[in-house]
A and B are shown apart, each in its own frame.
Chain A
Amino acid sequence: MTLENHEAWPTMTTTVTDKIRDRIERIVTTPSIPAVFLPLVDLLSGPAEEANLDEVVRLVSYDNAIAAQCLRVASSPLFGMVKPPKSIAAAVMTLGLQRVETIVLTSCMGEAFSREKWGIDPVAFWRHSLGCAMVSRKFSEKLAGVDGERAYMAGLLHDLGFLASSMAFPEEFAVAVERACREQIPLHEAEQATMGFTHCETGRALAEKWHLAKDILDVIAHHHAPTQAGSAGSLVALVHLSDELCRVRGLDYGYYERHKVDLISDPAWSILLQDHRDLEGVDLARFTFELDESAAKVGEMVSAIFGPVAA
């Protein structure tokens, strides 16, 4: 299955697809976002050796709002810097690439869509997105030949569609969120029931508009139905499982989901197993306990991003 992006919209009438595309097209973001965001995603999700600090600094400095946000987060006591960094270069040097990656991308996305318009609690959203990034990377460590950085990036961006929906369909999305919380059902089910499409479709339209790489786009589009993903099946399956795990280990969307997760019966598990026999050796209970320890760090990171501005 190697369909082109524009051919692979499943079970969706062209009118709905067109409506989504049209609305996404009209989302107003800080103009520089795609210009900074795309090269950054490319740069940061490649093999670690190739990521060039200077290049990262250059890109970050390109946008004042993003640069300011990076400095603010980098000044958080969490990172143990004695004096707040004076320049992006200093921040990048002290923080190291992995943290910079997270800070830059979250700043980017935070700046791209004005906070007041988010239809979902930003703290919960970041906790979940960073959590899923962290779990995806952790998961990938158990599997030979999966690139951890790529997995991290895919996890971080998988729910981009929530932001897209908040901007493009604010009223409709608010209704879906309200219903999900009230009925304690998964958000994508509430979206499907009330809107007829989900953040997977809006996220996909935004990913197409921003020309995100095909595998990341596949994750954004199919992470709730991994059997429909084509070429990037393994990555989609991995992020799908990580997302499910996050939602039952406190890295959720901020409300109780009446939800039972049976990972080994999940089709995504079989997909992953086809390419990665070593998955059989993963002890899920132990993995869950390991994950809980890292979840605390995610919490700290999120409070650094949203915490009080350091003097």
Chain B
Amino acid sequence: MTSGNPSVLAKPAVIKAGESIDPVFRQIRDIVYKACGIFQLDEKLYLLVDGCGRRMKQLGLTNSRDYWNLLTAQSSRDAELRHLLNELTIGETSLFRSQPQIDALRKVILPEIAGEKIKQITKRLRIWSAGCSTGEESYTLAMNMLEETEGLLKGWTIEILATDLNDRSVETAKAGVYGDYALRSTTDYFKRKYFTPLDGKKLQVQPEVKKLITFSRLNLQDDSKMLFMKGMDLIFCCNVLIYFDGPSKSKVINHFFSNLNFGGYFFLGTSESLLKLNDQFHLVHFPGAMAYWKPSLKSGKL
């Protein structure tokens, strides 16, 4: 996951070319894979080695065997695995990461969904930001939905579920405090309308925006929890599945298909694709953005 993060990429210090990999890290890789679907190929294994290195330093360990013992002993393994996953899943993210996605959502998809729900008495829009990292994507969605509450979404209940495996990221997300870098694509209009300046140069998301979102920890590989995420109109799972291998990817995608309402959409990051992992979804195009559509019942296209 950390490969998106330049500071980590810059120092593949632990393994040098030609040096053999301590076999214990391959075993740790399998544990990580089983836990969350992330599989680091050998050439990317330094990311995992770096992550373990940071944990060992924090724990004052110098021997990788000792770390292995901690990670496997019954008394410590759950807690340590969680710490390690937190180290390994520091995602690169920012607000307004893809404007074409937002345009597609507001200009094409919302009118369509609003049309389909026109006869429903309680109008509810449920969005899931799956793999929300530190919350940038989730707040971007929330602000843009608020922009529609005077128009298309007048009188609607908007619920955004934002989940991530990394509980440290989830805590950061809840705080909703961002600096220049995260806000580099956010216009002054949004900054002024939805943020409050904190001391220093940071901005904090206003309560009105936070109110729409529920943040929680969720592992996309946790089948029993995935079954509960029902009734979604939209799922955003951007830049998350990239490090999953085929089988774990396709498991998640099949969950998404059943989590979605008919007529719902599922977005990946702008350079990702499902590459035939699921043929029930229709790949649909909007200007500059692609999405996967679960055809509506009345369209008869299932």
Taking Cβ atoms with an 8 Å cutoff, the residues of A that contact B are 184, 244-245, 247-250, 252, 256-265, 283-286, 288-289
Indicate whether A283 sits within 8 Å of B275 (C-beta atoms), given known contacts A259-B108, A260-B112.
yes
B107 at interface (Cβ–Cβ under 8 A)? yes
B288 at interface (Cβ–Cβ under 8 A)? yes
Best-buried of A252, A262, A264 by chain B (most CB within 10 Å): A262
Complex Cα distance A184/B274, Å?
A: 29
B274 to chain A: closest residue by CB: A285
B283 to chain A: closest residue by CB: A284
Tally chain B residues at the interface, Cβ within 8 Å. Answer: 23
B190 at interface (Cβ–Cβ under 8 A)? no
Is the beta-carbon distance between B273 and A259 smaller than 8 angstroms? no
Complex Cα distance A256/B288, Å?
A: 10
* Chain B residues numbered 240-290 whose CB sits less than 8 Å from any CB in chain A: 271, 273-276, 282-288, 290
Complex Cα distance A283/B274, Å?
A: 10
Q: In the complex, how many angstroms separate the beta carbon of B52 from the nearest chain A beta carbon?
A: 34
Is the beta-carbon distance between A265 and B107 smaller than 8 angstroms? no
A288 to chain B: closest residue by CB: B290
Across the interface, which residues of A come within 8 angstroms of B288, CB to CB? 248-250
Across the interface, which residues of A come within 8 angstroms of B299, CB to CB? 265
Q: A262-B293, A284-B283 are in contact. List 16 more A-B contacts (CB 8 A).
A: A184-B107, A244-B285, A245-B285, A249-B288, A250-B288, A252-B287, A257-B287, A258-B111, A261-B286, A262-B282, A262-B285, A263-B283, A264-B282, A265-B299, A283-B273, A285-B283
B293 to chain A: closest residue by CB: A262
B80 at interface (Cβ–Cβ under 8 A)? no
B298 at interface (Cβ–Cβ under 8 A)? no
Indicate whether A261 sits within 8 Å of B284 (C-beta atoms), given known contacts A184-B107, A285-B290.
yes
Is the beta-carbon distance between B283 and A265 smaller than 8 angstroms? no
Complex Cα distance A211/B271, Å?
A: 44
B171 at interface (Cβ–Cβ under 8 A)? no
Across the interface, which residues of B come within 8 angstroms of A258, CB to CB? 107-108, 111
Indicate whether A260 sits within 8 Å of B283 (C-beta atoms), given known contacts A249-B288, A285-B290, A289-B271.
no
Is the beta-carbon distance between B285 and A248 smaller than 8 angstroms? yes
Across the interface, which residues of B come within 8 angstroms of A259, CB to CB? 108, 286-287
Complex Cα distance A265/B293, Å?
A: 12
Best-buried of B111, B285, B288 by chain A (most CB within 10 Å): B285
A250 to chain B: closest residue by CB: B288
B57 at interface (Cβ–Cβ under 8 A)? no
* Chain B residues numbered 75-97 whose CB sits less than 8 Å from any CB in chain A: none
Is the beta-carbon distance between A286 and B275 smaller than 8 angstroms? yes
B265 to chain A: closest residue by CB: A260
Across the interface, which residues of A come within 8 angstroms of B283, CB to CB? 263-264, 284-285
Complex Cα distance A148/B288, Å?
A: 26
* Chain B residues numbered 28-46 whose CB sits less than 8 Å from any CB in chain A: none
Is the beta-carbon distance between B275 and A262 smaller than 8 angstroms? no
B103 at interface (Cβ–Cβ under 8 A)? yes
**5 contacting pairs across A/B (C-beta < 8 A):** A248-B287, A252-B287, A256-B287, A262-B293, A264-B283
